[in-house]
Structure 1
Amino acid sequence: MHDLIRVIVLGIIEGITEFLPISSTGHLLIAERWLGARSDLFNVGIQAGAILAVTLIYWKRIWQLLTQWRDPANRDYLFKLVVAFLITAVLGLIAVKFNFKLPETVTPIAWALIVGGFWMLAAERAAAHKPDQRNITWTVAILVGIAQMVAGIFPGTSRSAATIFAAMLFGTSNRESATEFAFLVGIPTMYAATGYELLKVLHDGGAAHEDWTALGVGFVVSAIVAFIAVKWLLGYIRTHRFTPFAIYRIVLGVALLLLLPGGA
């Protein structure tokens, strides 16, 4: 029962933080220090639950892109999504090739939260002085692909924050348009990451040791909570800036450095 509660809590944390620009990976790594570490497949699997929620929310837009690809605007947007995903995938395979590992201490996560918070404040300020630009340029697509990988390498950065604000700083000043592109490119990225981890577990013979019940519960909880969180966020950004999230990141990062000065 206690383990089930821990799984539910981790699913809730993932569902809330995956698409809010405050870093789901950073929050999960911190939470697991008190709730117990989980497998890489569990962590990526519950992220897939959150991605499923976004897939359901954006299913009309996805269907439009896939069935009306002959329309020049849709085809151009779809190609940019594909390029952004491929950039992330290639950089991800390079990181795997060099055996990159996530940090095991809190200090780098805390600093990533702080730096990311100030990055968000600067991006909001810069975007406020630009004309309302909704178009996704090729520059934005390329930088969003790179930003996804940067967020994967540095927990605490936040994939959604890195991609949304890369878009806002370098061409798409409109928050809704930048958020939509960032979320849509995250769909194939996270499904691919989940599939990769699943194949790795099966190849290494770890399936027998995986707690599939916990993974299933975490997946469902994450999907439900993420659906609610993303629906709220999409309504929120129509009339509000991301500033409160930036302040939260900075406060949390500073608190972690003060409470855990050794990075334990």
Structure 2
Amino acid sequence: MGVHLEPGAIAEVVIDFPPVNAVPVAGWLSVADQLTAAGADPATRVVVLRAEGRGFCAGVDIKEMQRSEGHQVLLAANRGCAAAFAAVYDCPVPVIAAVQGFCLGGGIGLVGNADLIVAADDATFGLPEVDRGALGAATHLARLVPPQLMRAMVYTCRTVTAADLHRFGTVHEVVPAAGLRVAARAVAGAIAAKDPVVIRRAKEALNGIDPVDVKRSYRFEQGFTFELNLNGAGDRARQKFVEGR
């Protein structure tokens, strides 16, 4: 259980927090650390970010927040998410997200910053932050869907399918769930076969021409999460979720 790195030319960073991959504070920081370690290894040519279990990521561990007094866990989770999302984006080699089942909340932050997404045919993507009394990762959702759909998804908390994102061109490939890891590694292999010096410079160049500073944009969103907690709306929504109301 946890986050572990399988090094190699095609490195794998694997998320494993049963039962639903709701990631605790330490887990987000570990994702950041493992991605940074993979990118720092000169032998690494591509990173596959994947997860064990029936879903890729259910977002932050809200129950961990509600078990704690005050806002320390909330603050730490926000910093952890920012670090993990940034580590995907800043990784000096391409990051391929392999997504199965549900990809929610913080999961959107991870895959939205990835270079490519390979998804299982059962994958769904959503940002239920409004129902959790929070805001954030619309920055990353905006990299996956058109602007008006992004707004609709934020306001209504609806999800979209891997097939939808494939039609938009933001999911590279949709495959049967049983073949997800193989498919992701096949795409990774095609990239790994290129000159690694050129690929690293290509990643740097592509980040440099992005029209939105994803790290700054996400931290701006997080400010509204802090505001919602100061006025009590955030805690009310989280407690309602924990109690199943």
TM-score greater than 0.5 by the shorter chain:
no
More strand per residue: 2
Kindly indicate whether structure 1 or structure 2 has the higher relative contact order, using CA contacts under 8 Å at least 6 residues apart: 1
What TM-score, normalized to structure 2? 0.28
